[in-house]
């Protein structure tokens, strides 16, 4: 039996919300979908693409009568949106968010939730460097993890129903503690993004000196950095401001290791470099053996597109 919510409200109509709309529409998982975004332009595009049946100038209007409310705005905007919608939520409704940081969002949203409304914080580990209502597609979540960080007093029925919806959208769902989520994501996503931003910035400075050789001779590694560094500036500013402790912890460890490698290069310590690279190569093998990536050269890209 298809898990279905009669009325779904999408607050924020960008990459994640539009992908959810496509997936829910395709699977018949939503009766009607209402939506709100900040600008009239985004709201018009959402109507034009059929992402929503109705769009509203305020989030409060969009959530009226909704059984499922999805907060899909930048992390820094979650608290204000929660405060605005709180008096208009239907008793028994489930409210979720898709923010990339969990502790800060819970602190910002949970205090506003009225009794009888079920807040189930979540984070789809899926995305692209594109944003806005036109960037979504129905298969974005297929075989990707969607992490839920339910609070101790969560309503188990509401969590189970929402989890079922995510699985119908093709996602693999796991539950974990919000603090643990933030540390794991600092390692796997947030710090790597910061490193990519830095590397592209450094290359840009160098590019001025070498007259665009950086782009001309760009190898796969650097091209991947430029793709990551093209991610939405608002979203990533908010991620670092709201997952400050975990990212600073991981960045501290990163710079220590970097200094150790820098020293090894300066001292001509080939043994250190070889041992380090041997260890990291084994980690990559472990990822492939666990089925988390392809062993194909160049990550399975065709020669033509590389
Ligand atoms: P996006 O494509 O940039 O879209 C953001 C949407 O939020 C836009 O519709 C924007 O409206 C709206 N918005 C921004 N500020 C608002 C406010 N104060 N009030 C109402 N609406 C507002 O963003 P996204 O990539 O879908 O990301 C949304 C959330 O998902 C973020 O919290 C992000 O951390 C999380 N997330 C993103 C990814 C990813 O890879 N992109 C992956 C997982 C989770 P306008 O267009 O009218 O400005």
Please say whether the beta carbons of 46 and 18 come within 8 A.
Answer: yes
What's the CA-to-centroid distance between 300 and ligand 1, angstroms? 30
Helix 191-210 to helix 220-228 angle (10° resolution) is 120
**Distance in angstroms (rounded) separating the CA atoms of residues 120 and 149:** 7
Residue 43 CA, ligand 1 centroid: distance in Å: 13
Q: What is the mean pLDDT of residues 119-134?
A: 96
Under a CB-based contact definition with an 8 Å cutoff, are residues 78 and 16 in contact? no
**246 CA distance to ligand 1 centroid (A)?**
22
Does the pLDDT at position 75 exceed 60?
yes
- The whole-number pLDDT of residue 306 equals 31
Record the tokens describing residue 206, joined without a space: 């160098």
- The pLDDT-based confidence of 120 (bands split at 50, 70, 90) is very high
Please report where in the chains the tokens 């595009």 appear, as a residue.
Answer: 45
Distance CA 146, CA 98 (A): 9
Amino acid 276: pLDDT: 96
7 has pLDDT over 80? yes
Tell me the per-residue pLDDT of 234-274, one tens digit each, with 9 for 90 and over.
Answer: 999 999 999 999 999 999 999 999 999 999 999 999 999 99
pLDDT, one tens digit per residue, over 76-103 is 999 999 999 999 999 999 999 999 999 9
- Each domain of the chain, given as residue ranges in start order, spans 5-176, 180-268
Q: How far is CA 145 from the centre of its chain?
A: 10
Provide CATH code, domain 180-268: 1.10.3660.10
What rounded mean pLDDT belongs to the chain?
A: 93
Task: Assess contact for 6 and 67: CB atoms under 8 A.
Answer: yes
Which atom of ligand 1 has the smallest separation from the CA of 16?
A: 26
13 lines ligand 1 (CB under 6 A): yes
Task: Determine whether the shortest distance from the Cβ of 23 to ligand 1 is under 6 A.
Answer: no
CB 136 within 8 Å of CB 16:
yes
Please compute the mean of the pLDDT values over residues 54-78 and round it to a whole number. Answer: 98
| CATH number listed for the domain at residues 5-176 | 3.40.50.720
pLDDT tens per residue, range 14-42: 999 999 999 999 999 999 999 999 999 99
Q: What angle do CA 303, 305, 306 make, to 5 degrees?
A: 65
Q: What is the pLDDT of residue 299?
A: 65
Model pLDDT, residue 150: 96
Ligand 1 nearest-atom number relative to CA 126: 42
State pLDDT tens for residues 208-237. Answer: 666 667 777 777 778 888 889 999 999 999
Q: Which residues on neighbouring strands pair with residue 9, listed in sequence order?
A: 34, 69
Q: Percentage of the chain with pLDDT > 90?
A: 80
- Helix count and strand count (H, E) for the chain: 13, 8
Per-residue pLDDT, 303: 42
**Alpha-carbon gap, residue 161 to 3, rounded angstroms:** 7
Give the C-alpha distances (Å, rounded to integers) separating 106 from 28, 78, 100, 123, 129. 30, 9, 12, 12, 25
Question: Environment class of residue 265 by beta-carbon count within 10 Å: exposed (0-12), middle (13-18) or buried (19+)?
Answer: exposed
Cβ atoms 5, 90 nearer than 8 A? no
Kind plus residue range of the DSSP H or E element containing 113: none
Q: State the pTM of this model.
A: 0.92
């Amino acid at each position: 039996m298809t898990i279905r919510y009669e009325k779904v409200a999408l607050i924020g109509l960008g990459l994640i919300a539009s992908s959810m709309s496509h997936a829910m529409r395709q699977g018949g998982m939503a009766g009607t979908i209402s939506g709100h975004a900040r600008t009239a332009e985004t709201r018009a595009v959402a109507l034009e693409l059929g992402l929503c049946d109705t769009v509203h100038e305020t989030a409060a209007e969009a959530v009226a009568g909704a059984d499922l409310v999805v907060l899909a705005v930048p992390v820094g905007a979650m608290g204000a949106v929660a405060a605005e919608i709180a008096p208009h939520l239907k008793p028994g409704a489930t409210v979720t968010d898709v923010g990339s940081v969990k502790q800060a969002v819970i602190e910002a949203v949970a205090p506003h939730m009225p009794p009888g409304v079920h807040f189930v914080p979540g984070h789809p580990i899926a995305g692209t460097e594109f944003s806005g209502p036109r960037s979504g597609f129905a298969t974005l979540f297929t075989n990707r993890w969607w992490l839920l960080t339910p609070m101790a007093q969560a309503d188990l029925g509401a969590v189970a129903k929402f989890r079922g919806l995510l699985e119908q959208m093709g996602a693999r769902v796991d539950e974990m503690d919000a603090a643990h989520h933030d540390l794991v994501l600092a390692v796997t996503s947030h710090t790597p993004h910061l490193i990519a931003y830095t590397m592209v910035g450094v290359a840009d400075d160098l590019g001025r000196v070498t007259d665009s050789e950086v782009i001309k001779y760009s190898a796969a590694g650097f091209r991947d950095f430029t793709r990551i560094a093209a991610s939405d500036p608002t979203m990533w500013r908010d991620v670092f401001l709201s997952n400050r402790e975990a990212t600073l912890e991981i960045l501290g460890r990163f710079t220590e290791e970097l200094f150790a490698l820098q020293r090894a290069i300066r001292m001509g310590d080939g043994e250190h470099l070889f041992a380090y690279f041997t260890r990291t190569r084994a980690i990559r093998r472990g990822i492939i053996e666990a089925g988390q990536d392809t062993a194909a050269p160049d990550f399975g890209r065709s020669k033509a597109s590389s």
